[in-house]
Structure 1
Amino acid sequence: MRLISSIALALGLVCAASGVQARDWATIKQSGTIVAASEGAYPPFNYFQGPKLTGYEIDVMDAVAKKLGLKVDWRALSFDALISSIRQDRFDVAIASHGITEERQKSVDFTNPHYCSGGQIVSKAGGPLKLADLHGKTVGVQLATTYADAAQKIAGVKEVKTYPKDTDALQALMGGRIDAWVSDRFVAKTAIAKNTSQGLKAGDMVFVERDAMILRKGNTELREQLNHALAELKADGTLKAISEKYLQEDITCSN
């Protein structure tokens, strides 16, 4: 029920977002509100607690807005729609664990990263944990992610199955429909801790990445303001505190 309610709320938020346009910094500052989007289905980074959007990235965006003297008007929609929605000027910014890649940089601009992570193999007890063990196996990933791209490049994998949400891929693993799941290492850590009865195990890292907010290409002054706020939050220890709240460690990039 909670998942269904979250999806329904997310769809409602998307509908409410129609007609909203990405704006430059001067317009945002004058309005006093920044319109930000996330997915809401990627714990512990962004997810719903009942009707409330929460998680590490939600707290980070709220803290950035506070530094800039703004309130946040939140929107939520599926991960695979966020980049296209930014290009359609439906939001000012999105924060949803987008790894910085050359391909994505053709469509959107990135802020400086708010955390560093990477893709990790997860399987049930006795399942494949090393890259070489994935030969002839079926791997589950979330659609339109860097994890999906990375899984396609693993030598010998029998099949890569994509799912609309990362939680769907996790459910497929626990249900025995796939042999392994590739996801963010912190998402994996949370899933393993929350599903102890499933005997989930963390395996090899597939790749390392830097994750950042996305915004419309050429919206330079807004990007600079966001980067300035992120730098201040890192310097004053706020990002570290938010990291430890949700992940029990500091996940900010070292440089």
Structure 2
Amino acid sequence: MNKVWSGVLAGVLGLGLAAVAQARGFEDIKKQGRIVIASEGQYAPFNHFENNKLSGFEIELAELVAKKMGLSVEWKALGFDALLAGLNQGRWDLVIASHGVTEERSRAVTFTEPHYCSGGIVVSKNPAVRTAQDLAGKAVAVQTGSSYMQNLLKLPGLKEVKNFPQDTDARTAMLSGRLDAWVTDRFVAKAAAKAQPKAGMQVGELIFVERIAAAVAKGNAGLAEAYNKALKESFADGSYAALSNRYFGEDVRCK
């Protein structure tokens, strides 16, 4: 999810020099044998809670990669807008929460190699609302701080773009009939439609495509390189494909 944290970026950039000093390098993390990873926990099927425990594709993937790095994981869960700022304050070592790689974000943090590709998709109870063009004259629900909102605002003729604190709130607003459509990640949309088959959700077409990656503090190249090496090992040995197929029925890595 290519979320953009308006109002937070300037603070993150301002912490850039301090972040390098505060962030733990890979050697320090390796000595302790434990990496601290933060996620949101509100974005099924990628990161969410099951029985008060973080679960989802990204959670399992991060644990798989960490194991290949010889590390155990300590998890932190908090609001999306705080994740990257806390990363650059040295409060955790890595963030994995469906961040889309953008030029703006890349000035503030160091991204790892992407672990999946996706994009924003149109969802509506009206089968005639499927494309970006179909949104003209419509009121659309989207999560606060997401680039889905930025991309929607570029479209001509929208009646309203209404943002909500969580993606599930945006979905509920669309399902209740308060808004005409919901724009979210394509895999989130597919999972929601599968989980609520009687809700009448019609999954339409992509508005844009994005590369999704984990992030470390700006300049923490050693940790990023170690993570990338282990991620590539999961690609090569089939463990990534097995995990991806279990969640999505396909290999979702970027082609």
Q: TM-score, structure 1 length as denominator? A: 0.89
Residue pair 2:131, 2:207 contacting (<8 A) in 1 also: no
1:210-225 equivalent positions in 2, closer than 5 A: 210-225=211-226
Write the mapping of 1:54-69 to structure 2, written as runs, cut at 5 A: 54-69=55-70
Q: Per the alignment, do residues 186 and 26 of structure 1 end up closer, same or farther by CA in structure 2, a change over 3 Å counting? A: same
CA distance in 1, matches of 2:41, 2:25: 25
CA RMSD of aligned residues (A): 1.1
Where in structure 2 are the equivalents of 1:6-25 lying within 5 Å?
22-25=23-26
Q: 1:48 and 2:19 equivalent? A: no
Pairwise CA distance, 1:22: 3.3
Amino acid corresponding to residue 236 of structure 1 in structure 2: D
CA contact (8 A) 2:120 2:208 kept: yes
Residue matched to 2:162: 161
2:125 alignment counterpart = 124
Name the structure, 1 or 2, with higher relative contact order (CA <8 Å, separation 6+): 2
Provide the C-alpha distance between the structure 2 equivalents of 1:69 and 1:228, rounded to a whole number of angstroms: 12
The equivalent residue for 1:172 is: 173
Shift of 1:126: 4.0
**Residue type of the alignment partner of 1:102:** E
Residue of structure 2 in register with 1:34 after alignment: 35
Distance 2:164 2:83 in 1: 16
Identity of aligned residues (%): 51
Q: 2 CA distance for matches of 1:76 and 1:128? A: 35
String of CA shifts for 1:67-106, please: whole Å, max 9, x gaps.
Answer: 0110000000111221211122211000000000011112
Distance 2:131 2:107 in 1: 33
State the shift of 1:30 in Å.
0.3
Q: Which amino acid aligns with 1:46?
A: N
Alignment partner of 1:92 is 2:93: yes
Show the 5 A alignment for 1:79-158.
79-126=80-127, 128-158=129-159
Partner of 2:191: 190
Cα deviation, residue 54, structure 1 = 0.3
Give secondary structure in 2 for the equivalent of 1:196: coil
Q: Distance in 1 between matches of 2:109 and 2:159?
A: 33
**Could you list the runs of 5+ residues in structure 1 that have no partner in the other structure?**
1-20
Distance 2:245 2:94 in 1: 24
- Mapped partners of 1:106, 1:237: distance in 2: 33
Render the CA deviation track for 1:168-211: whole Å, top value 9, x for unaligned: 11111111111111111000000111111111011121000000
**How many matched pairs?**
234
Structure 1 residue 158 displacement after superposition? 1.5
1:127 deviates by 5.2
